[in-house]
Chain A
Amino acid sequence: MGNHSVATGKKSHLQHHFVDEDQQFESSKFGMWIFLVTEVLMFGGLFVAYIIYRSWHPDLFYMAAQELDVALGATNTVVLIGSSLTIALAIRAIQLDKIKAGINYLVATIGLAATFMIIKYFEYMDKFGKGIYPGSAYSYDGIGHDMAVNFFSIYYMMTGLHGIHVVIGIGLIGWMTIKAKKGLIHSGYYTPVENTGLFWHLVDIIWIFLFPLLYLID
C-alpha cells in the first residue's frame, strides 16, 4: 500500500526522518488525535463548570435557558452537521483525485461555517440588545433569579470558545482550499486536509453537546 506517490507520480512530501509515507501519515494523524484530546479537555473544563453550577442551581438553568432561541440553535446544529458532511465529502473527493469537486466541497464547508457564525452573531446581538452581557455589564431583569448572570457567563464562555474554534476552522479550511488549488494535495498526499477534517468534526461534536445542554432545558 505504501507507494502512493509512485502511483500518482506526484512530488514526494516525505520528510527525511520518516521511513515511508505511511509512517508519516500515521504519525501526523496520531498527533492530531492527541491534539484533539487536549481540545476535548479544554472544553471539558467549561463543561465541568456547567455541571457544577447546574447541580447547584437547577432552577436558574431552567429559567435562563428560556431566553435562548431553540429554533436558531437547532438551525445551527443542522448547519454544522451539513458542514461535517461537506468536509467529509471533500476529503473523499481528494482521495479519489477529483480535486475540482474537492475544492467545491471545501468552499461549501466554509459557506456553512460562515452561516453558523452569522446566526450566532444575530443571537449575540439580540442578547446584547436586552442587556444580557457576560459579567458585570449584565443589566437584564427579565429573569427572576439573582444569579442569571452566571448562567450567561457560562453560556458566553462556551459558545464564545466554540465560536473561536469555528473561525480557526474557517481559516484552516480556507488554507486547504488554496493548497488544493495549487495542486499540493491529492490522493498521494492528503494529510493536511484529513487533519483539518478531524479538527472540524470535533468542533461539530462539541456543538452537538452544547445544543441540548444550553438550549433544550425543560
Chain B
Amino acid sequence: MADNKAQTLKIREFPVEENPEHTYLNAEKGIWSWLFTVDHKRIGLLYLFSITLFFFVGGLLALLLRTELLTPAQSIIDADTYNQIFTLHGAIMIFLFIIPSIPAALGNFFLPMMIGAKDVAFPRLNLASWWIYIFGALFALYSIITGAVDTGWTFYTPYSTQTGTSVVSMTFAVFILGFSSILTGINFIVTLHKLRSPGLSWSRMPLFLWSLYATAIIQILATPILAITVLLLAMERILGIGIFDPTMGGDPVLYQHFFWFYSHPAVYIMIVPAFGIISELISTFSRKTIFGYWAIALSSLAIAFIGFLVWGHHMFVSGQSELSSVVFSFLTFFVGVPTGIKIFNWVATMYKGSIDLKTPMLYALSFLFLFTIGGLTGIMIGALSVNVHLHDTYYIVAHFHYVMMGGTVIALLGGLHYWWPKMTGRMYNELWGRITCGIIFVSFNMTFLPQFIMGSQGMPRRYFNYVDQFQGLHQFSTIGSYILGLGFMIMLVYLVWSLFYGPKASSNPWKARSLEWMASSPPAHHNFEYTPVILHGPYDHHQPIREFHMGVAKEADEQTTEAERETT
C-alpha cells in the first residue's frame, strides 16, 4: 500500500445519508469551479448542458427545414440555404449532439459511481475532452459564420472539394471533436478495467457499463479513421493532393470507404449506449432480474465488432464493385442477430414482471416500439436490391430518424428521467413527465411515419421542393414536428422547474439495485466516502437492498491521509 501508516481496515455497513448537506453540487462554488472541475459528475453535467444546447439549435434548424417543406415550391428559404441548413442540422446533431450525448453526459456521471470508483481513471483528461469539444464546437461555429457548408454531413467528394463553402474549417471542427470522443473512450476503457471495486466482477457490471465499454471500443478503433479522412479531405481542398479527385486520377469512392469505415461504426457509438440504458430501465421498472444477462452484455460487443464489417451498405449505388456490394449486403444482415437478441431479452425480462409505468419506463417502451421499426427498416434497406430503389429517398431519412431519435434520443430521455433524482437531488413531476412522453411519442410518429410512405413513393432526400402529390404527407409531417418541438419545450420547463421547486429525492426512489443508487442523492463529492464491496449482481431484485454492499474504510487517519493526498 502507498502509505503504511497504522490503520485498521474495517468492513461494515454504511447507511445512506438522505438529503445530505455536503454534495458534489456544493463542494465548491462559482463558475470556475464548474468550468475547470475534474469531478466526473460535474463534467457529466457540463456535457449534458452542452448537448442539450446543441440539440435545441439542431432542432430549430430542423423545424426551419420542415417549415420550408410545407409547400411544394419555395416557401421561406431558397435551395442553397436549404442545403446549408440540412447540412448544419445533420452535422450538429451527429457530431455535437448524439455522439457525445449518452456516453459523455450520463456515462461520465454514472460509470464511476456504478463501479464504486471515486472518479474516472484520468480526471484531467476528462476535463480536457470537454474543453476540446467546446473548442471543436467553436470551430464549427466559425465555419458557419464564414460561409457555412452545403455538402451534407457526409462531405462527399468531389463536391466537397469544389463547393465555395467553408468545408476546411468544418472538417477541422470534426477532427477536433473526434479527438474529444477518443479521450472519453480511453478513459472509460481504462476505468472499467482498473478501477472496479472489490466484488464488482465483470459479471456484476451493470449492462449500461457493458454497453459503454463496447461503445468505447468503437470510439477508439473507428474515430482515428475519421481523423485521417477529414485530414485527407482538407489536404485535397488546400493542396489538391488528388487522392479522392477523379480529374487527377483519384477515386471519390475511396473517400466513401474512408468515411463510412468510421461512420457506420459511429452509428453504433450512437445507439449502443442507448441499449444499455434500456436494460437498466426495463429491469428496474419490471422489478425483475434481467433476462439473459450475458447475452445482452456480449451482444453489445458482437455489435461493435460486426459493425466494422458492413460500412459498404451506404455505397450500393456509388460504383463500388458488384462483388463488394453483395458481400456488404450479406454481412449487414448479421447485425440484426445480436440486436434481435437484445430485444427478445428485454421483452422476456418484462414477462411476468411487476411493471411500473413511471416516465422512464414509458420511454423504454417507446424505445422498444420505435427502435424496432428503425432496426427492421434498416435490415430492409440493407438488402441490396431494395436499397437500389430506396437509396437517397425519404425512406432513408425516416429510417435513421427512427433509429437515432426514436432510439437514442428516446433512451436518453428515459435515462435522464431515471437518473434525474440522483443527479439533481430533486424529483421531476411524474404527471407532466408521462404526458410529455405521450406527446413526444405521438408527434414523433406523426413526423416520421409519413416519410416512409413518401420515400417508398420516390420522394428524394435533401430536396427543398417536391411534386404536388406529396404535399399532404409533407404538411402532416411538418405539423408533427411542431408538436414534437412543443413536447421538448414542455420537458425543458418542468425539468428546470423541478430543480428549484421539485420535492427532494430519496437516495433510491425506484428501488433499483445498482451501485449508484446506494449513494446519497445528490452524491457526495467523492461518490462514496469508503470503498464499496459489492455482494450481489445489479439486477438481483429478489435480494433486500441493504444487503447489496458493504464498505471498507480506513477507520483511523482517514481525514489526514485524504488531505495529504490532495496536496500532492
Chain A residues in the interface with B (C-beta under 8 A):
2-3, 5-6, 11-21, 23, 26-28, 30-31, 34-35, 37-46, 48-49, 52-53, 133-137, 146-147, 149-150, 153-154, 156-157, 161
Contact = CB atoms under 8 A, between A and B. Distances in A.
B224 A39 contact: yes
Contact of A45 (B112, B228, B568): B228
A3 B239 contact: no
Contact of A150 (B121, B186, B248): B248
Nearest to A43: B228
Contacts of A42: 224-225, 227-228
Contacts of B186: 31, 34-35, 38
A14 B568 contact: yes
Nearest to B225: A45
Contacts of A14: 2, 565, 568
Contacts of A41: 221, 224-225
B352 interface: no
A6 B194 CA distance: 23
Kindly list the 4 A-B residue pairs having the minimum CB-CB distance in the complex, ordered from nearest.
Answer: A135-B239, A45-B228, A136-B240, A153-B241
Contacts of B238: 135
B193 interface: yes
13 contacts: A6-B2, A15-B123, A16-B119, A16-B565, A17-B120, A23-B195, A27-B190, A31-B190, A38-B223, A135-B235, A153-B243, A157-B235, A157-B241
Nearest to B258: A45
A137 to B, nearest CB: 7
A16 B3 CA distance: 12
Contacts of B258: 45, 48
Given A34-B220, A134-B239, A146-B249, A17 B195 contact: yes
A16 B568 CA distance: 10
Interface residues of B, number: 51
Contacts of A52: 251, 254
A215 B40 CA distance: 48
Given A46-B228, A157-B235, A2 B2 contact: yes
B254 A16 contact: no
Contacts of A146: 249
B553 to A, nearest CB: 13
Contact of B248 (A3, A35, A46, A149): A149
B438 interface: no
B249 A147 contact: yes
Contacts of A23: 194-195
Interface string B207-241: 00000000000001101110111011001001111
A92 B352 CA distance: 62
Contacts of A12: 2-3, 565, 568
A188 to B, nearest CB: 10
B225 A11 contact: no
Nearest to B191: A27
B1 A2 contact: yes
Contacts of A18: 195
Chain A interface helix/strand/loop/mixed: helix
A21 B254 contact: no
Contact of A135 (B190, B241, B565, B568): B241
Given A42-B225, A147-B248, A150-B249, A30 B243 contact: no
Contact of B194 (A30, A135, A154): A30
A144 to B, nearest CB: 15
Interface string B5-43: 000000000000000000000000000000000000000
B267 interface: no
Contacts of B121: 17, 27, 31
A43 B241 CA distance: 17
B568 A11 contact: yes
B437 interface: no
B55 to A, nearest CB: 27
A119 B249 CA distance: 31
Interface string B551-568: 000000000001001101
A88 to B, nearest CB: 24
Contacts of B549: none
A78 to B, nearest CB: 28
A13 B243 CA distance: 48
Contacts of B229: 45
A131 to B, nearest CB: 14
B518 to A, nearest CB: 18
A134 B566 CA distance: 52
Given A136-B239, A150-B249, A45 B224 contact: yes
Nearest to B118: A17
Contacts of B239: 133-137, 153
B162 interface: no
Nearest to B120: A17
Contacts of B2: 2-3, 5-6, 12, 14, 19-21
B1 A150 contact: no
Contacts of B112: 17
Contact of B235 (A13, A38, A45, A134): A134
Nearest to A23: B194
B72 interface: no
Contacts of A30: 189-190, 193-194
A3 B224 contact: no
Contacts of B531: 19
A114 B112 CA distance: 42
Given A15-B123, A157-B235, 15 more contacts: A11-B568, A14-B568, A17-B120, A17-B195, A31-B121, A31-B187, A39-B224, A45-B228, A52-B254, A137-B240, A147-B242, A147-B248, A149-B248, A150-B249, A153-B242
B457 to A, nearest CB: 39
Q: Which of B3, B194, B227 has the most CB of A within 10 A?
A: B194
A137 B112 CA distance: 52
B526 interface: yes
Residue among B112, B185, B225 with the highest chain A CB neighbour number at 10 A: B225
B509 interface: no
